[in-house]
Chains A and B, each alone.
Chain A
Amino acid sequence: MKVLVPVKRVIDFNIKPRVKADGTGVETAGVKMSMNPFDEIAVEEAVRLKEKGIATEIVAVSIGVQQAQDTLRTALAMGADRAILVLTDVAVEPLGVAKVLKALVAKESPDLVILGKQAIDDDMNATGQMLAGLLGWSQGTFASKIEIADGRAVVTREIDGGLETVSLALPAIVTADLRLNEPRYASLPNIMKARKKPMETVAPGDLGVDVTPRLTTLSVAEPPTRKAGVKVESAADLVARLRNEAKVI
């Protein structure tokens, strides 16, 4: 069974993002970038499937700038077999990503695509669902458990107030939630070995996909800073302040 795992290069989760002074976006120059944490979980799950003898090959894909190579190298060090970089300077939106992945699915014919449920930079939570729609495949989103047997994937989904278990016919799309697993370290020996694993670079145009953005960002702003609170003297004081200062009652 072949597994395709798309991974995104995002601002590292330790970094506090800083809005550019002109409000056009978030500062990324010189900012530490890493693999989207949900994508790490997706890679880990694919590697575990391979270790169980279920998956035979893991192909990692990233769509983005040249440095997305580093993200792919991490996936290779974790255990992916080979990597494809779809090289573009455009900030590709979920629909564009889904179209690129659809083209790669046609080329690679995987039985399973595992994605992170969302990227921590734009929090879109859309690519997996769009890809399932474009391909007409079954989808199991927000997965906290995946079991593969008899040509089907049994996926436990984290839903509001509980868990839902779905059984999907393969090929299928699964998106990884936080509790699916705890990703392993990319160890130094594995990082060294990953340097020798194959990495292919293609352009979106080679795949026949137009990734030109369709959304326009009007402005990006930091949340307003919260004002310091005050200690009220009594219930009457509280009511008076709510009425006269806050004007909410």
Chain B
Amino acid sequence: MTEHARETMEFDVVIVGGGPAGLAAAIRLRQLAPDATVCLIEKGSEIGAHILSGAVIEPRALAELLPDWQERGAPLNTPVSEEAMLYLTESRGYTVPMLDRVMPHMRNHGNYIVSLGDVCRWLAVQAEELGVEIYPGFAGAEILEEDGRVVGVATGDMGIGRDGQPGANYAPGMELRARYTLFAEGCRGSLTKRAMAMYNLRKGVDPQTYGLGIKELWEIPKDLHRPGLVQHSFGWPLDDRTYGGAWMYHFGENLVSYGFVVGLDYPNTWLSPFDEMQRLKLHPSFRKFFEGGRRIAYGARALSEGGLQSVPRLTFPGGALVGDAAGFLNVPKIKGTHTAMKSGMLAAEAVAEAMAAGKAEPASYTRRVRQSWLWQELRGVRNIRPAFARFGMKGGALYSGIDAMLLRGRAPWTLHHRHADNEVLESATVSTPIAYPKPDGRITFDRLSSVFLSATNHEEDQPVHLKVRNPDLWKTVNWDVFRSPESRYCPAAVYEAVDTDTAPRLQINAQNCVHCKTCDIKDPAQNIDWVTPEGAGGPNYPGGM
């Protein structure tokens, strides 16, 4: 319909996604090949608008990329000074002793508490100074392929009405053609998903397993604020079959980052990650910090937890996957920024080499990853996340202690991920219902007032970007068997089962979507396809988030 009207622009490299991986790749490319034209597009309204992370980051990759990052004013301002890992029961918190030895991955000495959005905004400035062209507000909507090779992406059309027809303000998408295309969309990227299918990149590797992170940013009274404090917890309120835990980081000017991650391989269909996150704030180990404070932002994002076993083939003719689009998160460290950046840098090195040699596929990327500290690091921790899936939360914790203290990550075996997250949900009749407390409006909140604080906006008159492939399947599977799990796992109240007493149907409030991608992952029948809405739509996470 619109092909003929599209304009085209040619670049040496197009990068889809302005997170740490994409920006690091862009910077590295211009460092290595100053004449190469590099274009980066980002679906958020600005760089940082869709970035959501804790975040405690390890500056290792940053120091390799920009050794003078401190002089350049990188916003890494709060060093970690104090840390605790708590095991929670309903009313008490027990500090894990000798954290350094039992959970060496959690050692955060030398790391910084940051707003990853602010770090990305800063990285974008560095990239632009090096001549990278950055275009926020434009989503990669389509992969351009010719003769079996990716030759770029097309941005989405703007101004398409809800009925799918061009409206008065219609502006066609644009073809960004490139010799090399890097997908840096983060976890479960929509184009990454297509590239994986087109080139069969997941053949022979474990299914990816995911987590959902939900975060709030608080401003708390000065006398309660302990800059540099890092507090994690596991145990209550999750049962032994559910992987997850909470974080709390004190940083900046009286800011507190609080959040909660749930492994999306949870079995109980009644579980609501959002409500778990809310009720955990009432635990005495956390509540004391929230009294008298105010919540200033909210958001959510899925993350890849599969580790090494789930990393797909990384390259294809005309491009590569970088960062969490490939799945380089280090789960026991609960950090993925340094690995994402490192993978972006290594891909850039491979692309620079391929460009000079005139090769279609930046194949040396895989070798570069395998020879780097990134691979070493992921190899050492590869058994920990699957151990939790296999032995439960307590057994997994025990295994990871043994793995860390006795085996030191050198176990001669590799535990595998046996199921995709959507396959393990149990039916509503088998699952135990969970009674969540009502929000108090001070410390705990409901979904809608939360979504409001993500400053999410989508142009109202556009097609729904959450595509239910087979609408009938919702009734027979999602409703009849699981009682609409999407209305519970969605942290943004996008999905609602309505008319449940008469003729149940699914209502999709797409304008609430914070682009976390959980529905694309967890839908039991894989019947929901998350595609990019009109560019600049979605959350607008503020500075500090």
Residues of A at the B interface (CB closer than 8 Å) are: 12, 14-16, 18, 21, 29-32, 34, 182, 184-185, 187-189, 191-192, 195
Q: Report chain A residues within 8 Å CB of B296.
A: 18
Q: Report chain A residues within 8 Å CB of B247.
A: none
B452 touching A184, Cβ below 8 Å: no
Q: Report chain A residues within 8 Å CB of B470.
A: none
DSSP majority for the A interface?
A: loop
Option from B9, B155, B219, B543 in Cβ contact (under 8 Å) with A30: B543
B121 touching A30, Cβ below 8 Å: yes
A30 touching B544, Cβ below 8 Å: yes
A16 touching B171, Cβ below 8 Å: no
Option from B9, B219, B253 in Cβ contact (under 8 Å) with A192: B9
A14 to B457, CA, bound (A): 7
Could you say which of A15, A31, A32, A182 has the most chain B C-beta atoms within 10 Å of its C-beta?
A: A32
Option from B117, B219, B540 in Cβ contact (under 8 Å) with A12: B540
A189 to B41, CA, bound (A): 13
A184 to B159, CA, bound (A): 9
B542 touching A32, Cβ below 8 Å: yes
Q: Report chain B residues within 8 Å CB of A32.
A: 45-46, 49, 455, 540, 542
Name the residue on B nearest A70 (C-beta): B46
Q: Report chain A residues within 8 Å CB of B453.
A: 16
A29 to B7, CA, bound (A): 36
Cβ-based interface call for B168 (8 A):
yes
A182 to B456, CA, bound (A): 21
Cβ-based interface call for B169 (8 A):
yes
> Which range holds the interface residue count of chain B?
35 or more
Q: Report chain B residues within 8 Å CB of A14.
A: 45, 455-457, 540
Q: Which residues of chain B from 202 to 256 have any CB-CB distance to chain A below 8 Å in the complex?
A: 219, 253-254
Known contacts A21-B254, A31-B542, then 14 further A-B pairs from the complex at CB < 8 Å, ordered by chain A residue: A12-B45, A15-B455, A15-B542, A16-B452, A16-B455, A29-B543, A32-B46, A182-B168, A182-B169, A185-B169, A187-B172, A187-B174, A188-B173, A192-B9
With A18-B296, A21-B254: A31-B174 Cβ-Cβ less than 8 Å? no
Q: Mark B101-142, 1 if CB is under 8 A from A, else 0.
A: 000000000000001011001000000000001010010000
Q: Report chain B residues within 8 Å CB of A184.
A: 169, 171
Cβ-based interface call for B158 (8 A):
yes
Option from A12, A21, A189 in Cβ contact (under 8 Å) with B7: A189
Q: Report chain A residues within 8 Å CB of B121.
A: 30
A187 touching B158, Cβ below 8 Å: yes
A191 touching B45, Cβ below 8 Å: no
Tell me, rounded to whole Å, the shortest Cβ–Cβ distance linking B446 to chain A: 14
28 pairs from A and B in contact (CB 8 Å cutoff): A12-B45, A14-B456, A15-B455, A15-B540, A16-B452, A21-B219, A30-B48, A30-B115, A30-B118, A30-B121, A30-B543, A30-B544, A31-B543, A32-B46, A32-B49, A32-B540, A32-B542, A184-B169, A184-B171, A185-B169, A187-B158, A187-B174, A188-B155, A188-B173, A189-B174, A192-B133, A192-B135, A195-B133
